[in-house]
Structure 1
């Protein structure tokens, strides 16, 4: 059931109101994941900060290295769980389902990362 309750005290721009570069970034996320995380629209209230967030995200998550995208998302889900950020656990858990192609692993990690880490080591 959809809610009319706002996600923020700040005005949340619609996608068609975003500067062109931010609109492209947000739509790219939607294309890859099937949804636009609310936090991106909330960040877009401050375009410069939103651009900085995407630059940091891309540097950490998209750069080639020793970790796969799935492993990076597992770390993000685990850190989000440790921080008790349920929004981030759900959002990154959804992304982990996609990149790991393992819904069970993603859900188990999102529900109880401590138990999953013990079994993975």
Structure 2
């Protein structure tokens, strides 16, 4: 059960309503994480702004890979469900790739290096080793791209922390659920 107050539809501050309307348009519903964040429109705006900005720094499958790897390493059940759903339904990732990303790997060698590196960033609280940097560089990532990987990881850590503190009730359909209707 969630531990922070989620405003009802009638209680959502006016400053958060347009954002929630956009989320509803994207997902077809307002996921619990966003509904809860609406209690503080400034926090909701920060999360949405950061999520919008990271869309510019890495390709979508790499961002999804980081999100899955970080959420698994951080033990965030809500974010694991959300990112599995988004990766599958909006990002076109196969179930096997989603599971590999959670495990710090991928069928794509470059994304496997990113997944491992993102998990090392979480596990070491950013105190990665020279070998960790060498591995991601060896996969062809530049220092500028490594900065982007760390930035994306930290944005997902923020939502992991918010959802872990709240113990947000998982309301995300299982990945693939939208495609199972006959």
In 2, the alpha carbon distance for the partners of 1:55 and 1:102 equals 24
Give CA deviations for 1:23-44 in whole Å, capped at 9, x if unaligned.
2212222222233221112222
Q: What is the match of residue 93 of structure 2? A: 102
Residue in 2 aligned with 1:23? 17
CA contact (8 A) 1:96 1:106 kept: no
Instruction: Please report the TM-score for the alignment, with normalisation by the length of structure 2.
Output: 0.50
SS at match of 2:90: helix
Q: What is the total number of aligned residue pairs between the two structures?
A: 109
TM-score by length of 1: 0.71
Q: Which runs of 5+ in 1 are unaligned?
A: 1-5
Q: 1:33 aligns with which of 21, 27, 30?
A: 27
Report the aligned-residue RMSD: 2.4
| Alpha-carbon distance change, 91 to 118 in structure 1, aligned in 2, over 3 angstroms | closer
Offset, 1:81: 0.8
* 1:5-84 superposed matches below 5 A: 6-8=1-3, 10-61=4-55, 63=56, 65=57, 67-84=58-75
Tell which structure's C-alpha radius of gyration is larger. Answer: 2
